[in-house]
């Protein structure tokens, strides 16, 4: 009661931590447990050795990045229909975190590909689609920041968020069909993913849940940062008006 | 139907008339198209034996670059002279404005391609006399025009608009480029519709899908 402003800032009720703080704690603990599972509990792959462990990072990160762009798609639709800034905030945060995740997915994929497939990169459908995803959502962020006004940027971004997401399955199938007529000499042991033993599958599942929490926490953090940015913008605006 | 068709034709005629008077778009894009072939010829070391393999790729790379170049200009004239605001306050639906603009881009691109195709056929040594090649070019260009017009309307408003359009355009149109190259390879090789496989239907699905989505989102892009 005495200081409502500081209460708003901490985002919590009285002495209770905010949802974001709780998320951060859960994510931190899970991340440590996940690391322990990946390096201590999961058995070493009989064929690939230790390098196979990158798989527990790569697969969850890739899945979460696809999920992130699905969130962008839904909230872009929501923003165009409802026009409430909340939808745009979710789309913006999810797209930024999604681009970070998809970058990590590409990098961990490259680390995996070199020892396993004996090449850094191959124009395989999943790789190519992930690369295109990266390009589309980088364009999403660019069009948002290069737009003449913030509200225009939100609309342009929502348009790219919708078009991009609709386009991704078409990209995937066109590359699959293209692939079927240009066979690659480097197709690696793809069956590896299916040949997971029980412990491996459990570690993978745990890792996926960990990264889902991590993603949610990052989105919450980014949305709060955006609120701060907007508040700062308003303060700057009033200061400038008072100054002149 | 006439409520949509009439305004579309007026918008198309306005742009065609502007182009007929200035001739600054189609001619320059054709010259650019020739330059692309010269560059690719040396970049890919196009010797006579490999021409059949390389020609469809060079053809579509040139068409895609030419499409971006000409679409970059699609809204510039309207933007500079305030013509777009005039269009928007006129009692014409947003769909008609979008479709008119897309049709204009399609016409300009087909004109450019009609001028370039015989030259490419000679320079890259392939037979352009195939109905299926014509159909592939039409469907591919339709995809370029529909999505390109939407992105162009956004890019023209942004900073560094010349870069924004290709950055948006190429990743989204990758399926059309892949499918068009594959269909062209087969059409040039003398295949008929069945021989072209899934590639023409793929472009058709892409065109139909974005012909539905793009007019809808365009109304948000141009609103004030």
Q: Does the distance separating the beta carbons of A171 and B175 come in below 8 Å?
A: yes
Whether residues A135 and B170 touch (CB distance < 8 A) is answered with: yes
Mean pLDDT (chain A) is 85
Which pTM was predicted? 0.87
Going by C-alpha positions, the residue among B94, B118, B107, B92 that lies closest to residue B10 is B92
Mean pLDDT for B126-142 is 90
- Alpha carbon of A91: minimum distance to chain B alpha carbons (Å): 16
Q: Phi and psi of B4, rounded to 5°?
A: -95, -40
CB-count burial class (<10 Å; 0-12, 13-18, 19+) for A142: buried
Instruction: Report yes or no: A39 and A53 within 8 Å, Cβ to Cβ.
Output: yes
Confirm if A175 and A125 have CB atoms less than 8 A apart: yes
Q: How far is CA B192 from CA B32, B120, B178, B185, B200, in A?
A: 31, 21, 19, 12, 11
Query: What average pLDDT does chain B have?
Result: 89
Mutation for testing the A interface, residue in B174, B183, B199, B200 having most A CBs under 10 Å: B174
Q: What percent of chain A has pLDDT over 90?
A: 53
Condensed to tens digits (0 to 9), the pLDDT of residues A219-237 reads 999 999 999 998 998 999 9
Q: Which of B206, B213, B224 is nearest to B95 (CA)?
A: B213
| The pair of three-digit structure tokens given for residue A242, joined into one six-digit string | 């008072």
CA dist., res. B157 & res. B164, Å (int): 10
Number of other CB atoms surrounding residue B170 within 10 Å: 17
Q: Residues B124, B62: contact at Cβ < 8 Å?
A: no
Count other Cβ atoms within 10 Å, centred on residue B183.
Answer: 29
Residues of B with CB under 8 A from a CB of A: 147, 150, 154-155, 157-160, 164, 167-168, 170-172, 174-175, 178-179, 182, 198-199, 202, 205-206, 209-210, 213-214, 217, 220-221, 223
Domain carrying residue B8: 2-221
pLDDT category at B153 given cuts 50, 70, 90 is: very high
SS (H, E, C) B146-167: HHHHHHHHHHCCCCCHHHHHHH
Tens-place pLDDT, residues A200-225: 888 889 999 999 999 999 999 999 99
How many distinct structural domains can be found in chain B?
Answer: 1
Task: Provide the CA A58 distance to its chain's centre, in angstroms.
Answer: 12
Nearest CA-CA partner of A215 in A99, A131, A94? A94
Highest mean pLDDT among A41-45, B46-50, B161-165: B161-165
Considering chain B, what percentage of its residues have pLDDT values greater than 90? 51
Question: Is it the case that residue B213 has pLDDT exceeding 60?
Answer: yes
A82-108 pLDDT, tens digit per residue, is 999 999 999 999 999 999 999 999 999
**Band (B33; pLDDT cuts 50, 70, 90):** very high
Question: Shortest CB distance from A143 goes to which of B158, B198, B220?
Answer: B158
**Residue B170 pLDDT > 70, yes or no?**
yes
Is B158 within 8 Å of A171 when comparing Cβ atoms?
Answer: no
Residue to substitute from B153, B154, B162, interface A, most A β-carbons within 10 A? B154
For B98-128, b/e burial (b = at least 16 CB within 10 A) is: bbbbbbbbbbbbebbbebbbeebbebbebeb
> How far is the CA of B169 from the CAs of A190, B72, B101, B149, in angstroms?
32, 11, 16, 10
Query: Tell me: the pLDDT tens digits for B41-85?
Result: 888 887 777 877 888 999 999 999 999 999 988 888 888 778 888
Bridge partners, residue A49, by sequence: A45
Query: Given this model, what pLDDT does residue A182 score?
Result: 59
**CB-based contact (8 Å) between A178 and chain B?**
yes
Give the mean pLDDT of B135-156: 94
- Cβ of A158 under 8 Å from any chain B Cβ? yes
How many residues are listed for chain A in this entry?
244
């Amino acid at each position: 009661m005495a200081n409502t402003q500081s209460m708003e800032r901490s985002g919590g009720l009285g002495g209770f931590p905010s949802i974001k703080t709780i998320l951060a704690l859960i994510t931190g603990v899970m991340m440590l447990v996940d690391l322990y599972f990946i390096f201590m509990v999961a058995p070493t792959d009989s064929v690939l050795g230790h390098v196979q462990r990158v798989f527990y990072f790569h697969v969850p990160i890739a899945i979460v990045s696809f999920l992130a762009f699905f969130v962008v798609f839904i909230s872009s639709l929501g923003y165009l229909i409802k026009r409430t800034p909340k939808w745009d905030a979710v789309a913006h945060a999810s797209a930024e975190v999604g681009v970070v995740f998809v970058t990590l997915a590409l990098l961990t994929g490259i680390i995996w590909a070199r020892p396993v497939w004996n090449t850094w990169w191959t124009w395989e459908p999943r790789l190519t689609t992930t690369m295109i995803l990266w390009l589309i959502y980088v364009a999403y962020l660019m069009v948002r920041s290069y737009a003449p006004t913030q509200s225009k940027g939100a609309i342009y971004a929502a348009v790219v968020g919708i078009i991009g997401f609709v386009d991704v399955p078409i990209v995937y199938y066109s590359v699959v069909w293209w692939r079927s007529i240009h066979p690659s000499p480097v197709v690696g042991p793809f069956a590896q993913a299916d040949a997971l033993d029980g412990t491996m599958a459990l570690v993978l599942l745990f890792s996926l849940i960990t990264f889902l929490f991590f993603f949610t926490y990052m989105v919450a953090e980014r949305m709060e940062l955006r609120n701060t940015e907007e508040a700062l913008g308003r303060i700057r605006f009033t200061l400038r008006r008072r100054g002149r | 139907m006439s409520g949509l068709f009439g305004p579309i034709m007026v918008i198309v005629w306005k742009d065609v008339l502007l182009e007929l008077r200035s001739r600054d778009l189609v001619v320059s894009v054709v010259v650019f198209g020739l330059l692309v072939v010269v560059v690719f010829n040396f970049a890919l070391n196009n010797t006579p034996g490999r021409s059949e393999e390389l020609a469809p790729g060079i053809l579509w790379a040139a068409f895609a670059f030419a499409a971006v170049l000409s679409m970059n200009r699609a809204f510039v004239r309207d933007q500079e002279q305030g013509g777009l605001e005039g269009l928007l306050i006129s009692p014409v639906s947003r769909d008609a404005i979008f479709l008119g603009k897309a049709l204009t881009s399609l016409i300009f691109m087909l004109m450019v391609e009609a001028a370039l195709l015989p030259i490419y056929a000679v320079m890259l040594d392939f037979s352009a006399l195939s109905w299926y090649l014509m159909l592939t070019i039409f469907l591919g260009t339709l995809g370029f025009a529909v999505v390109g017009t939407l992105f162009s309307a956004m890019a023209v408003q942004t900073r560094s608009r010349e870069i924004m359009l290709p950055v948006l355009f190429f990743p989204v149109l990758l399926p059309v480029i892949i499918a068009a190259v594959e269909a062209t390879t087969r059409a040039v090789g003398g295949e008929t519709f069945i021989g072209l496989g899934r590639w023409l239907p793929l472009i058709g699905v892409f065109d139909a899908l974005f012909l539905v989505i793009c007019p809808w989102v365009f109304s948000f892009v141009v609103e004030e």
